[in-house]
Chain A
Amino acid sequence: MKISVQEADFDVGAEISALRAGNPQIGAVASFIGLVRDLNDGSNVAAMTLEHYPAMTHKALTAIVAESETRWALLGCTVIHRVGALFPTDQIVLVAVASSHRADAFAACEFIMDYLKTQAPFWKKEQTPDGERWVESRNSDEAAAGRWG
């Protein structure tokens, strides 16, 4: 697995190429890319800052991917999460999962995102016309993570 927490942007094509390089057992790659939107909770978002808990983020993401590997037959996984200053249309997060067949890749990709949303210590602060504000957690994210049991 590849886990990276970084300020720099990432190249989705290059990441997926690297994930599946040289492994003819891989028949499916599912990926998710999270992006900065320009509107959230009714306010225009000019920019956001992603804060994290450096000592814990890598550990938490590794644990989430390891848990997914116990549930599905995976042949590789890449998780990249950016921190620092981000702007609308910027990429925030990439989860890419390789497997022999699509069902495992789709399920593991969704599971990793759902757990990342509720377990990995990142916090978004948005800059809006009314000033800065911390993004509130959503009950729907807790519900999404909870459905995996």
Chain B
Amino acid sequence: MNIKVLYFARLRERFGVSEEVIELPDSMAMVAMLLDVLRARGGEWAQALAAGQNFRVAVNQDMAAMNSPLEADDEVAIFPPVTGG
């Protein structure tokens, strides 16, 4: 299944990409598994998304958790803690 992934702020700059489509096996339909796929790229991806790093994930524009489920064509956003206001 295809998942649209967006990156914002510092993470967008570190990765050098603002959005992409990632094909995940249907058996990996969870935020944590998408992150594993991204970490496997190594380099900035492995560092910025390592356990203990401070980042947030939203699924279809709602804040999500590591165990949030994913479905085909979901929009996942990965970004640093927010700093508005």
Contacts and interface: CB of A to CB of B under 8 A. Distances in A.
A93 interface: yes
Interface in B64-85: 75, 77, 79-85
B59 to A, nearest CB: 10
A135 interface: yes
Interface residues of A, number: 27
Interface stretch (A6-14, A19-27, A101-109, A111-119): A111-119
Contact of B83 (A55, A59, A81, A135): A135
Contacts of A148: none
Given A51-B8, A56-B61, A59-B61, A121 B85 contact: no
B61 A123 contact: no
B85 A56 contact: no
B37 to A, nearest CB: 21
Interface of A: 34, 50-53, 55-56, 59-60, 81, 92-93, 113, 116-125, 134-137
Interface of B: 6, 8-10, 54, 58, 61-63, 75, 77, 79-85
